[in-house]
Structure 1
Amino acid sequence: MMPNRFDALPTATWPRLRALLDGHAAGGEVINMTIGEPKHKFPEWVGPTLNDALGQFNSYPDNNGTPELRGSIAGFLQRRYGIDLDSDAQIMALNGTREGLFNAVVALCPTGSKVLIPNPFYQVYTVAAMAVGAQSVYLPAHAQTGFLPDLDALTPAELSETSAFFLCSPSNPQGAVASAEYWARLIILAETYDFKIFADECYSEIYRNAPPPGALEVAARMGADPERIVVFHSLSKRSNLPGLRSGFVASGRKNIARIKQLRAYAGCPIAGPIQHVSAKVWADEDHVVANRQLYCGKFEAADHIFAEIQSYNSPEAGFFLWLPVEDDEAAAVKLWIETGVRVLPGSYLGQVANEQNPGSGYVRVALVAPKEEMQRGLTLMRDCLYK
């Protein structure tokens, strides 16, 4: 007999998109603007640094992250957020954040509890809840609430059963930033109702103006219990290294001890040479600044192209556009068969809750292609969908 815990899962995002579009011929030269796969150059010294450490492939890697790597991550957190964490007890290396997001739920969330998830969302959040028999509660994040969950809409009864609250800031797909005040309100709720905040901050270094505040940063200012916050970061977006599969989780000592305990049995450590490279990448900020400037230039170009489209919302951070359309699947098909531009229907990132999917009526557009190609794709998109 097969387990049925995942029977309710819909078809995954990318097979679903292929089923929608691949039966139609592209209407022009293909421009793929669906997946958030960074294409800017990573630092030139990554290759030589990796080569210097190839001998480490001959040894089992440190399961929790080498002292060098964890120390470098602690340095990043201190520079970026002004927080001082114990690199031995409060930081653990990850094979990308998806692994950590899943395992944190397994390690820290009781069966039968509720896990609150912004809607739309990164799909691993709800799969992790299913894995432990927790109930996913989908919180609409739409334009009226600044594309973040409305904290005032949460009820005491709901919060008292909550074990974890996922929040991605800057958000995927909308590019909204949780302010320090928003984080503080959420932290107060977490302390009042005894739940943890899983802060997915993978897009934290791609912003247009002020650096987005971090959950641990705000918690430290408040004097809040660090066990309330579990923060996830990655080199994928920050450093254009999605194939490196390198990130980290940081939290209080008790949380990290439980996550380490699970990983000792079921985790897959990062290869030694990758850890060596990652330590160097976390320690360098010059390439991060250059990367951010490239994205700022792309957002300026997007703002110019959509300047006359009243419904256009220019995002604060991240590298996606969240464009309103009448019917997201129909718009994606029309765009594909008429222009060859490929985008993702927003409903594929959301879940129907209270008879509504907050992702419906939007398409997500990734600004990862070279700037000239991106501009051409956005211009075709504007002329096809909005004129």
Structure 2
Amino acid sequence: MNPYIKSLHPYPFEKLADLLSDIAPHPEKELIKLTIGEPQHAAPEFVKDCLAANLNGISKYPLTKGEPALSEAIAQWCRNRFSLQSLDPKTQVIPVTGTREALFAITQTLIDSKGNDLIISPNPFYQIYEGAGILAGADLHFLSCDANSNYQINYKEVPDAIWERCKLLFVCSPNNPTGSLTSLEDYAFLIEKAKMFHFTLVADECYSEIYFDESQKPLGLLEACQKLGHLDYHNCLVFHSLSKRSNLPGLRSGFVAGDANILKAFLLYRTYQGCAMPPHHQTASILAWQDEEHVLQNRNLYRKKFKAVIDILAPVMPISHPEAAFYLWPKTAMDDETFCRELYQQESVLVLPGRYLARTVNGFNPGNDHVRMALVANEEDCIEAAQRIKRFILNNTKTQ
């Protein structure tokens, strides 16, 4: 057995199940879950119609590289969305079966399991970054993003000894769970460091289309490359998905784009790994990437929910509107695990303790005394959940 498997941490939702194993939600209130970042808005009807009309695709083996028409649709979307002068669909784009497996797979491609390689990750973070690193045999170096730094990472504090060992740096922008964005200044710094120390920037951008101001779209890594004159995208990769953008998490459809040399090696790896997107999923994905109206409607739904929920919660807890993504990351007046357990018992609302999404480094866990709330349910349920959380906070404040 792979010895690294023993080093994997329990997944956050496994920890949550253990935390709640000896208690039950309030019996007279329907449970509302704000834990999992699984979109609940309706999938576009035209995508479902396309899937149904192209089921004959299951009779064919899909190409690992994907159909040329899909790669072209993705490249065109990237050029439009991020104002790119060029992106070659033949060499700089690979469709993937969702970003989860692709983020894991790129780590196996880039890391020398027999070396002294190191991965830099934000903290808190999406658990795949850590798990992929552990199973690749790399060391992990976590960079805290907490309230003291307005949930931004100070990359300039990282010593050269760390950069020298780094082979892969994960950027999550918009960030899960904080909702913060990586600036052009930070990307400029990271691109220069990547050139100097020969590591790869891996930008997880799967929340890039959930934002709140149409005039302020989140900056992407390839867009930053364009602005900085880094036109070959050397050492830079972006990962995108239709899951959040188009409410299609079950379609398992995304892409990787950027450095052609890295993608050539990544395609070879995937030829053996065997994760190829089904043909009818590819056909439906083309339509999804070519349509923006359903994405705008999706954003408008999130805007309404965030305004309503924040208006309810702001008077009783420190809470701020994220720059993007669909999470709230408020601080709690009590221990985050206690907050989660008591809220579950008293109000039948389920949130995720922040410590489960982060690691303790030098005695400090940046997720402590935070909870993650995913505003993915319908507006009515999100408002009801917020009202219950407010009541819970007021009731428990009185008893302290």
Match of 1:233 in 2: 240
Report sequence identity in percent.
Answer: 38
Give 1:367's aligned amino acid: L
**Residue 163 of structure 1: which of 144, 167, 170 is its match?**
167
- Partners of 1:8 and 1:324 in 2: CA distance: 30
Give 2:62's aligned amino acid: P
197-206 or 26-35, which moves further after superposition? 26-35
> Which residues of structure 2 form unaligned runs of 5+?
none
Is it true that 1:185 corresponds to 2:189 in the alignment? Answer: yes
- Partners of 2:180 and 2:107 in 1: CA distance: 24
Match of 1:273 in 2: 280
- Partners of 1:85 and 1:368 in 2: CA distance: 32
**Residue 94 of structure 1: which of 83, 93, 96 is its match?**
96
**Residue 376 of structure 1: which of 384, 389, 396 is its match?**
384
- Partners of 2:298 and 2:185 in 1: CA distance: 28
Match of 1:15 in 2: 14
**Residue 151 of structure 1: which of 152, 155, 161 is its match?**
155
Give 1:223's aligned amino acid: G
Q: Deviations over 1:338-361 (max 9, x none)?
A: 000011011111111112211111
Tell me the CA shift for residue 149 of structure 1: 1.9
- Partners of 2:150 and 2:103 in 1: CA distance: 24
Q: Is the 8 Å Cα contact of residues 142 and 361 (structure 2) preserved in structure 1?
A: yes
Match of 2:52 in 1: 51
Match of 1:215 in 2: 221
The runs of at least 4 consecutive aligned structure 1 residues that moved more than 3 Å come to: none
Residues 239-250 of structure 1 mapped to structure 2, 5 A cutoff = 239-250=246-257
Is it true that 1:72 corresponds to 2:79 in the alignment? Answer: no
SS at match of 2:95: strand
Match of 1:60 in 2: 61
Residues 262-301 of structure 1 mapped to structure 2, 5 A cutoff = 262-301=269-308
Residues 112-123 of structure 1 mapped to structure 2, 5 A cutoff = 112-123=116-127
Tell me the CA shift for residue 150 of structure 1: 1.2
Q: Is the 8 Å Cα contact of residues 117 and 165 (structure 1) preserved in structure 2?
A: yes
Tell me the CA shift for residue 144 of structure 1: 2.0
Tell me the CA shift for residue 307 of structure 1: 2.8
- Partners of 1:140 and 1:243 in 2: CA distance: 32
Q: Is the 8 Å Cα contact of residues 179 and 212 (structure 1) preserved in structure 2?
A: no
**Residue 352 of structure 2: which of 337, 344, 349 is its match?**
344
Q: Alpha carbon RMSD of aligned pairs, Å?
A: 1.2
SS at match of 1:159: helix
Q: Deviations over 1:282-303 (max 9, x none)?
A: 1110100110111111111122
- Partners of 1:276 and 1:121 in 2: CA distance: 32
308-317 or 226-235, which moves further after superposition? 308-317
Q: Is the 8 Å Cα contact of residues 118 and 138 (structure 1) preserved in structure 2?
A: yes
Q: Is the 8 Å Cα contact of residues 129 and 136 (structure 1) preserved in structure 2?
A: yes
> Which residues of structure 1 form unaligned runs of 5+?
none
Match of 2:36 in 1: 35
Aligned residues between the structures: 386
- Partners of 2:330 and 2:365 in 1: CA distance: 15
Q: Deviations over 1:94-138 (max 9, x none)?
A: 110011101111112223211000001011111111122111111
Match of 1:6 in 2: 5
Match of 1:104 in 2: 106
Tell me the CA shift for residue 6 of structure 1: 2.3
SS at match of 1:5: helix
Q: Is the 8 Å Cα contact of residues 317 and 331 (structure 2) preserved in structure 1?
A: no
Tell me the CA shift for residue 311 of structure 1: 1.8
Q: TM-score, normalised by structure 1?
A: 0.97
Tell me the CA shift for residue 310 of structure 1: 5.6
**Residue 199 of structure 2: which of 195, 199, 206 is its match?**
195
SS at match of 2:210: coil
Q: Is the 8 Å Cα contact of residues 7 and 134 (structure 2) preserved in structure 1?
A: no
- Partners of 1:182 and 1:298 in 2: CA distance: 30
Q: TM-score, normalised by structure 2?
A: 0.94
- Partners of 1:385 and 1:110 in 2: CA distance: 49
- Partners of 2:258 and 2:150 in 1: CA distance: 27
Tell me the CA shift for residue 269 of structure 1: 0.4
SS at match of 1:323: coil
